[in-house]
Every structure is written in C-alpha cells, then in structure tokens.
Amino acid sequence: MAPPLSSWPWASLGQYKYVVFGPLVWKVVQEWREQGGPPLGSWWLHLLVLFAVRGLTYQFWFTYGNMLFFTRRRRVVANGVDFRQIDHEWDWDNFLLLQTLLGATVVNSPLLPGLRQLSLWDPRGWAVALLLHVGFSEPVFYLAHQAIHRAPHLFARYHAAHHSSDVTQPLTAGFGTPLETLLVTLAMGAPIAGAFLMGYGSLGLVYGHAFVFDYLRAMGYSNVEVVSPRVFDAFPALRYILYTPSYLSLHHREKRGNFCLFMPLLDVLGGTLDVRSWSLQRAAYDGAPGGGALGTPEFVFLAHVVDIMSSMHVPFVLRSMSSIPFANHFILLPFWPLAFAFMLVMWCCSKTFVVSFYYLRGHLHQTWSVPRYGFQYFLPAAKKGINQQIELAILRADRMGVKVLSLAALNKNEALNGGGTLFVNKHPDLRVRVVHGNTLTAGVILNDIPSNVKEVFLTGATSKLGRAIALYLCRKKLRVLMFTMSSERFLKIQREAPPEFQQYLVQVTKYQAAQNCKTWIVGKWLSPREQRWAPAGTHFHQFVVPPIIGFRRDCTYGKLAAMRLPKDVHGLGSCEYTMDRGVVHACHAGGVVHFLEGWDHHEVGAIDVDRIDVVWRAALKHGLTPV
C-alpha cells in the first residue's frame, strides 16, 4: 500500500483527469444562465482562468528554454531530456489541478469572508503578501524542504521521484507527490490568505501573486540563465533575494544544499548555501567552460518543415506532442492561425536554426531546419532562395568544424540541387562532408525484401533511389518491372547494368502489368485506383514522401525507410516526424554512419550501387537496427 499523500487520486483516469473540474464548470454555467452573460465576478470562473494562465506560464518558459536557437549558449546542464524523463513528468500539471480544487474549497467555505466583497486592486494587500512571503513562506518552505532531505524515509517516499529527473525543465517544477504540492500550496497561498483575512485582498493580488510565484518557479527550473551576472555585480544584495536556474540546478543534481524557495538568504542563514552557485551562474550565462552551453556539433541533420500542422511538432512547442510520432490532433487546430503567421515570418526573415540534439558516444548530434515548408520547394520562384539557405547552412557548419552534414528530404532534391552536387562543386574545399544518406535508404528498402521474391514492381523507377534499387536487384537476378513513360531514361539505366543482367530490367507503362506481382516498391504517389491493380496479399515498400495512404485492406503497407539509433544514444526526447521513438529516417541514419565510420568522401549525386552493402553492414556494425 502506498504511503498517504504519495500518489494522485485521479491517476487511474489518465487523460480524462480533467473531469474533476466538472463541478466548477457547472457552477460557471449556472451563474452564466442566471446573469444572462459571462459571470465576471464568479470565483469559479476565475479559478478556471487561473488554471489556464498558470499552465501557460510554465508552457511559456518551457518553450523559451527549448528554443535552442536562443538559449543553447546559456544552458546550465548540457544534457538533453530523454523519453524516460518525459514519461515520468507526463502528468506534471497535477499540482495545478490540486491547487485549483483547494481554491474551490476555500471559495465555498466561510474561512475568508473578504472573498465576497472583492475589489480589483488594493496595494495594502500586496504589502501584506510580501511581508508574509518573506516572513512565513520562505522560512517554512526552507525548513520543510530541508527536513524532507534530511529524513531518508520521507525523501524516498515523497521527494526522490522529483529528483529523478536528470535535467530540470519548467514542467519538472510540477512533477511530484501530493505532499510536495501541499507544501508549495502553503507557501504560495499563505500570503494571499493573510491579505484577505486583514481585509486587503483583491482580485489583482490573486492573479498577480500566482503569476509571480509561478513565473519564478518556472524560471528556476528552466535550465537557462536569463539574469546577467553583471546585474548581481552591480547589486550584490540581489544574490540573496533572487535565486537562479544554476542555483536550483545544483540542488536538484546534488541534493546537499540550496534548499530555499526563491531567496538564497535562507541558505546563507542556515549554512546550506552551495558556494559554487555564483560561479556556475556566471559560466552558464557567458557560455564559458563549466556551464552547460552546447558546443560544436560533429554531425548535423539538415531538415525542413513539412507543413503547417507538423511545424507544431517541434520540441519547443508541446512536449507531449513532440515526444510521440506526429499525427494531426484536434488540439492543434486552434493554434493553426498562429503557426501560419510564423510560417510567413520565417519565409520573410528567418535563417536555418537548431531544432534538437542528442549525444551518441560522447559526440553531439544536432538537427537544424531550413525555414521553408514542403510546398515551397515546388515553387519555381523559391528555388534560388532555398538553395541559398542550404548553402549558408553548409558554410556555417564548415566554419564551426562540423564533420558531416546530412541533407534531409527535399533539401537534396535532384531538381533543386542535384542531390547536393551543386554545393560540393561550388565549394570544392569544404571540410564538412555533405551527405544525402540515400545509399543507406536504398539498403534499408532492399534488405526489407524477402529473399524468395523473384519479381518486383517499381514506381519512381528513374529517380535517384529508383535507379539504385533497380540496378541492385537486377544483379541479384530479380525481374524488375520499371514503371516509367520515358524510354530514354529507362534505357540509360538499363545500360548501366552489366550486360548479363540487363534482361532483368523491364519497362512497363501501365499498372496492369503488375497485377500478378505481390511486391511493389513505391517511389511515386499511388491513388486508390492505381493501388487496386495490385493482387491481394501485396506488400507496398515505400520511399515516396509523403507515404501513400493504405486503401487496400487485403494488402500490407511498409513505412518510410528508417533505422533505430543505437541503444547508447543519450538525451533524445523527440520523435522525428512520424517515426517512432528512437527511430530516424534512413537518410539521417546514413549520415550518422558516415560520421561514425569517419569516411572522408562526400555522398552526393547518384547513388553508388557498389556501396549499398558496404553502408548497410557499417550501419549494423555500429548498432543501428532496421525497424
């Protein structure tokens, strides 16, 4: 049996836990009907609004802290947040639910009579709240927090889970047990209650105090320094009044000191101040050694935005969304206009930016994004600008000392830049190796074909990947039905095959030609009408983006070529588009293999068929596994 106040009563409800707000919503509806309009004086309404505003405060700090293009040089801890921590903190907002319900209990009781005659503003209430915070909340929290740490049985039951998170984030602030939440609620609520008991309470005090309290907590857990050490140098007393993310991070990691709520003065008086707090804060803010600034990546995956909906799948928007494979969720629809506005801003004045990172065997890998969306790659007028963005990213990576840069999706489109050859030819002295990764993509697709298959139907047959797949399979004496209307391009590919294998490459111009073939390799979008020519039991292998929709229930559909990263990857906490956790597109994996092998050549332009097996074996050797 779990100790009292160590688990949440609504844990079994999962995502339906918000039904506990049903009575509050019903009260608001009743008052709305009675008053014939929004009940602006209703405490029930204000409690619900407070819940939303407070949640957005933590979300704001989470978003800011994970915008690596702003904050990567001012991080306190360099490590990333992994899926384990995200899952542990999934219900981080439980504390907001509990505090809202406690607020409703107080509102419904006669404990604070001042709640009924509510003013919008009373400066005397702010003065009382400030005095009570300094004189009551800070000491009580400090003593209780220290006591929990000093008592092993209490720490293990009520506080150890909170400290199990390796890297603090604003959402970590809410991750804990009901007992911890009650302690924080006492520290937060006592100043407000005192002001109301003295008759100085106001609506502005409730909102303002809650906002400042949450703002400071979220800032402390943000893992990003925001206050310049020069400010503390100019006003030395401020060090004892306001804590910093470095200050809290030391406590969270080492658990030996820095027990205060917001004011380090309590740690000074109690003899529990970690003397490294100020030097760490300076190092983190300045991006100096000793801080957690992200260094130079050795591998970069250069991606682009797919569409407006998927643009909200980035790690700095909603962690609960980015940590699972992308799908269109109704919850994202209200944010579509905002995402559309950001697309216009990015189109006008943005440049390539850092999206995410992880560590593999001590090496920093980053994903950068070109600020362009999928549809823009098909606009003739946008071609030059996109290539300029990619070129600038490559040159930036070269200056930084990046070893391998892998081009994703449309960034290596043949019609756009010849699969990367444009940049390599223009800058022959590049130190960074430019890689399209399609050699491994071909290897993943080819190794997914059962060994007993004798014939395949190939669409997109004259594309870069289609060509490589056809040439590889014909060498294995598999008959390849190459769907293409261009005899010229077909013959060009056929002549590349050794003479004894050319007979295995067959041009077809109608889907009916594949009505007896159960292995389709799809590199071009297929409509439902085209899919119906496949016989029952057909498996569709795919390298078309976006993947085709599975209309046939009597057939099976493979996913886009992908590989699972090695098990020793660290700090990975977001999914790559529709890929599962820990899985990346094969072109991403191809760049990783290129880096791990230390190969010194560029992988651009046409795929070298002779290297497909070489790259595939290297991927398996380094611990990457097929999905």
Cα-Cα end-to-end distance for the chain: 40
Instruction: Look at residue 524 and give its three-state secondary structure.
Output: coil
Q: In this structure, are residues 175 and 181 in contact, taking their beta carbons and an 8 Å threshold?
A: no
Give the tens place of pLDDT for each residue, 95-111.
Answer: 999 999 999 998 887 76
Residue 329 pLDDT: 85
What integer is the mean pLDDT of 367-389?
95
Cα distance between residue 280 and residue 513, in whole Å: 69
CA dist 551 and 544 (Å) reads 16
The rounded distance, in Å, linking the Cα atoms of 616 and 519 is: 21
Neighbours of 143 (CB within 10 A): 13
Distances (CA, A) of 371 to 21, 62, 339: 40, 22, 13
pLDDT tens sequence across 517-531: 999 999 998 999 999
Euclidean distance between CA atoms 271 and 146, whole angstroms: 12
Spatial CB neighbours of 170, under 8 Å, sequence gap ≥ 6: 58, 59, 61, 62, 65, 217, 218, 219, 221, 222
Taking CB atoms within 8 Å and a gap of at least 24, the contacts of 179-186 are: 179/5, 179/6, 180/95, 181/94, 181/95, 181/98, 181/99, 182/5, 182/98, 183/141, 183/144, 183/145, 184/95, 184/141, 185/95, 185/98, 185/99, 185/102, 186/137, 186/140, 186/141
Which pLDDT band, with edges at 50, 70 and 90, does 117 fall under?
low
Q: Backbone phi, then psi, for 522, in 5-degree steps? A: -105, 115
CB 98 within 8 A of CB 174: no
Residue type for 18, please? Y
How is residue 619 written in tokens? 């991927």
| Rounded Cα–Cα distance for residues 236 and 494 (Å) | 77
pLDDT tens track for 551-578: 999 999 998 999 999 999 999 999 999 9
Predicted pLDDT of residue 331: 85
The residue-averaged pLDDT of 604-615 equals 96
Q: Once rounded to an integer, what is the mean pLDDT over residues 389-417?
A: 96
Task: Return the bridge partners of 75, or none.
Answer: 224
Lowest mean pLDDT, pick from 150-154, 319-323, 325-329, 417-421? 325-329
| Residues 289/357, Cβ–Cβ less than 8 Å | no
Question: Mean per-residue pLDDT for 272-292?
Answer: 93
pLDDT interval class at 593 (50, 70, 90): very high
- How large is the C-alpha radius of gyration of the chain? 29
Residue that has been written with the tokens 């990346």 in this structure: 584
Distance CA 132, CA 148 (A): 23
Helix or strand or coil: residue 177?
Answer: coil
Helix (H) or strand (E) holding 209: helix 203-220
Coil, helix or strand at residue 530:
helix
pLDDT at 113 over 70: no
Give the type of residue at 453. V
- β pairing state of 562-564 and 519-522: unpaired
Pick the CATH number of 440-564 from 3.40.50.720, 1.10.10.10, 3.60.20.30, 3.40.50.2300: 3.40.50.720
For 418-535, where are the alpha helices, taking DSSP H only? Answer: 421-426, 438-447, 464-475, 487-496, 528-531
Strand partners, 353: 369
The answer on pLDDT for 549 being more than 90 is no
Checking if the pLDDT of 332 tops 90, the result is: no
Residues pairing with 480 in the sheet: 456, 505
Q: What is the pLDDT of residues 162-197, one digit of tens each?
A: 999 989 999 999 999 999 999 999 999 999 999 999
Residue recorded with tokens 């559309």: 340
Give yes or no for residue 214 having a pLDDT over 80.
Answer: yes
Rounded mean pLDDT, 51-63: 97
Q: What percent of the chain stands above pLDDT 70?
A: 99
Write the CB contacts of 225 (distance below 8 Å, at least 6 apart in sequence). Answer: 74, 76, 244, 245, 246, 281, 284, 285, 291
Contact 533, 511 (CB under 8 A): yes
pLDDT (mean) for 336-341: 94
| Nearest-angstrom CA–CA distance, 159 and 278 | 26
- Top pLDDT among 618 and 108 is at 618
Question: Which H helix or E strand runs over 185?
Answer: helix 178-197
Delimit the domains of the chain by residue range. Answer: 11-229, 440-564
Give pLDDT, residue 116: 66
Q: 2 pLDDT exceeds 90?
A: no
- The chain-wide mean pLDDT, for the chain, equals 94
Strand order in the sheet with 539-542: 505-508, 479-483, 455-458, 519-522, 539-542, 556-560
Cα dist from 226 to 61, 165, 199, 284, 627, whole Å: 11, 22, 37, 10, 42
Tell me the pairing of strands 519-522 and 455-458.
parallel
Confirm if 35 and 44 have CB atoms less than 8 A apart: no
Q: What is the pLDDT of residue 111?
A: 67
pLDDT above 70: residue 115: no
Distance between CA atoms of residues 462 and 497, nearest Å: 14
Return the structure tokens found at 482. Answer: 């190459």
Q: Which DSSP string corresponds to 36-97?
A: TS--TT-HHHHHHHHHHHHHHHHHHHHHHHT-HHHHTTSBSS-PPP-HHHHHHTTTTTHHHH
Q: Give me the DSSP letters along 92-122.
A: TTHHHHHHHHHHHHHHTSSS-GGGTS-BS--
